[in-house]
Amino acid sequence: MPKGGEFSAAGPLHLVKMAVGAADVEDLRRARAQRRAERGESWVYTRNHPRRAEAVLDGGSIYWVVKGQVRARERIIGFRPERDDNGRTYCLILTDGEFVVTLPRAFRPFQGWRYLQPSDVPKDAPGGPSGDFSMMPDPMLLELRELGLI
């Protein structure tokens, strides 16, 4: 590992976050699109600003965990520090708003966000950013992946 605990040059550093309340990928897609339409931009609220922001901004994405599986991502384009009415700091994770479905990858529950190394990211689902596989049941996707078909 390079000096200072930095990631290797194998690719950008990513973030992973639980999609709390999302029933499935389509539910998350709709919620993210609705919020983007309401706000005029796409962002995710978090209490803590990533210390390794520069590594994330080098092409990283935020990966969404839906029902225990990483299922989608959005490219991160910036971080905006903010303060609430009580003076407490928080951070907005700015995304490009392009919702990309990924092949499922199991992920244990956690709070907030976590770093995700390039070697741990799931592949994008076949069929482009719309992810034609997004409507396929998870057990079927997992079986196809285990068989090496996707």
Residue 114 CB burial class (10 angstroms; 0-12, 13-18, ≥19): middle
**How many CB atoms sit inside 10 A of residue 101's CB?**
26
pLDDT digits (tens, 9 = 90+) for 93-132: 999 999 999 988 889 999 999 999 999 999 888 765 455 5
pTM of the complete model: 0.81
Residue spans of the domains in the chain: they are 11-146
Query: For residue 105, what are the β-bridge partners?
Result: 70
Q: What is the C-alpha separation between 55 and 57, in angstroms, rounded? A: 6
Q: How many residues does the chain have?
A: 150
Q: What is the C-alpha separation between 106 and 56, in angstroms, rounded? A: 22
Q: How is residue 12 written in tokens?
A: 């950008």
Q: Is 11 left (phi over 0), alpha (psi -120 to 50) or beta?
A: left
Does the pLDDT of residue 11 top 90, yes or no? no
pLDDT digits (tens, 9 = 90+) for 59-102: 999 999 999 999 999 999 999 999 999 999 999 999 999 999 99
**How many CB atoms sit inside 10 A of residue 137's CB?**
9
